[in-house]
Chains A and B, each alone.
Chain A
């Protein structure tokens, strides 16, 4: 019957899935990539950067303190069900099983959220996913590292305040928040509302329906409202369309501040000249002038081992973000090695400890050749975010230019909100939060 058929097919799949791995000390990392479909441009860049960094470390240092990195790709097509399948398939990969899962997709993050605690695999979501997972007491296995949407939203307001000449100058100003009409897009609305009350500015939220390839009406409304600033919380094709429509309706681009998913080359190039002056936040910066990128070019691309087909994308925002993923993941492994020893592959549980005790200082960043490339990062049992800092970059028509130093977020505002939301989740799920004072 049909099941026998599927089972036979399945047997073939299972047979193929079990591929041997050498028993030597190798750190296995499963990569749920997406190289086809609507988000392929992002997927190829992000995973390309990440893979290139790992290749570089393998080539240059022979791995992390001699621990060679191996990885396996699994195509998710940015689809939740495929992502879960990849997660389950790679769970038992290598000698230790998968040791870190970073889906680079909010949907897949949610889909595996319940699974990671059982399987003891840290789930790392840099700059996406569940904001309240920054509360490590409720989410021991989830790491929304570097910065969350809420943190960056407060950083944006800080940036706007700076531009206006002080936070007190925000009073009476008008800010329009153009957001992708989805769970992702709506996430910062409560934070913006809270800050509007705090600083006395007015905020107007305008939704753009997915996919957002036509925004005439939204921007005509913006024109009518005559705001001082526009915050763009876009996704995919919505970004270039927004910038282009802004140009068409005459809204100054240097008064538009985008989130990092609106701040890559892919978001501005299609908008053409209209994108000149547009500003976006980022927890990493673009460019090839960093020693770490130079090393990648020297050890990887010079030997023709690079992952990017289009080499001109090396140094782009998304590629560099992939490198950040590589750096942070490898630093977590390194941190874990200080406790669990080198020379053998680490388990997911051990790597989790590494993620929870990260301390990437400025000095360390310098050693890594990544000064100013990503913000310094220190995590703890309480705080799985670790930094909250972002830089702002401006598009000059050809490339991104960094225009600020790391801008801190308003943790006094964000942290209680995170804790409240996490507590609500804990109550719904019947989770007892960890007692961090007992954690080592």
Chain B
């Protein structure tokens, strides 16, 4: 039984981290109706830019290598890069494509993926980097002592950071003026425009926020897996979360993440051995698929009514 809970809790913690990546998709889809395929590339770009800055900053400024000053300066610079990237995307790629069918916008973000990947590796090189956030990846001792369960300290802290981020974003959406404008845009672009909400600014903000989320996701996943091209694959973990939770729902992303994370792990441990293992490539997708058959709009997705 201990083992079951160990797997379950580990899965839930990973699930929060999947949700973190999914959140970037949700933000952009909600506000602009774009399925942003480049989200994975943005996670990679953000993490690589951060690590790149931590490498070059000591040389430029004479700050102590590995110090917290370098960390925060690099964080700010990487965030700036992400915001610039977001605004440039909005201006150069999306604005000329307003009112095009969703698939065209989707395709444009795939083109963007190549661009971002090329820029990232062209600027900072292809080498694989380690990234330490100063959090030990070791079992939480008192859980190990008391319940004999191994729960990673890193995952607990990372999940906590992600949850704080979720709460902050939810508050931003719910209680601020910008948030209201965001929700208005999400509901209906034209109606929002007609009451005087500047669509362009809103989109730029959303892409900026998505860049911020990508940076946080990039740092956490980068610390887990190393800062390398494979960070773009985190998007593949986020996609089943998205269909399960709905493309437009932030709580859906969290709950979807928890469900996917837990069931993926439990599936691999308890069903996997009977099927030869390695099923976690498709298991979350199948699960999400089966769920959608029952509830096509996902957990919290908006119910879509077709009018003829």
Contacts and interface: CB of A to CB of B under 8 A. Distances in A.
A272 interface: yes
Interface stretch (A21-29, A132-140, A204-212, A340-348): A204-212
B198 interface: no
Which of B150, B227, B276, B278 gathers most chain A CB within 10 Å? B278
A304 B267 CA distance: 54
A107 interface: no
A236 interface: yes
A224 to B, nearest CB: 6
Please tell me the size bucket of the interface on A. Answer: 35 or more
A248 B132 contact: no
A252 interface: no
B298 to A, nearest CB: 22
A211 B278 contact: no
A217 B130 contact: no
Contact of A220 (B6, B138, B281): B6
Contacts of B90: none
Contacts, number: 133
A214 B228 CA distance: 15
A156 interface: no
B45 to A, nearest CB: 14
Interface in B92-133: 117-118, 121, 125-132
A316 B200 CA distance: 48
A209 B280 contact: yes
Contacts of B277: 181, 205-207
B117 A36 contact: yes
A209 B126 contact: no
Given A216-B265, A217-B268, A270-B225, A248 B139 contact: yes
Given A37-B229, A217-B7, A244 B14 contact: no
A36 B130 CA distance: 19
B139 A269 contact: no
A246 to B, nearest CB: 11
Interface in B276-302: 276-282
B11 interface: yes
Interface string A243-284: 010011110000000000000011001111010000000000
A82 interface: no
Interface in A219-249: 220-221, 223-224, 236-237, 240-241, 244, 247-249
Interface in B208-267: 221, 224-230, 232-234, 236-237, 264-266
B281 A248 contact: no
A241 B130 CA distance: 12
Contacts of B7: 216-217, 220
A359 interface: no
Interface stretch (A40-48, A94-102, A417-425): A40-48
Contacts of A269: 128-130, 226
A237 B226 contact: yes
Given A224-B3, A266-B127, A309-B125, A217 B269 contact: yes
Which of A216, A250, A272 gathers most chain B CB within 10 Å? A216
Contacts of A216: 7, 10-11, 14, 265
Contacts of A334: none
A207 B226 contact: no
Contacts of A250: 139, 150
B137 A248 contact: yes
B268 A218 contact: yes
Given A38-B232, A237-B228, A271-B130, 16 more contacts: A37-B117, A39-B229, A181-B278, A205-B277, A207-B278, A213-B233, A214-B237, A218-B268, A236-B230, A244-B137, A244-B225, A266-B228, A270-B131, A270-B225, A274-B137, A310-B127
5 contacts: A220-B6, A220-B7, A240-B225, A269-B130, A271-B130
Interface of B: 3, 6-7, 10-11, 14, 117-118, 121, 125-132, 137-139, 150, 152, 154, 221, 224-230, 232-234, 236-237, 264-266, 268-269, 272, 276-282
Q: Which 6 A-B pairs have the closest CB atoms?
A: A270-B226, A207-B278, A181-B278, A237-B230, A40-B126, A209-B281
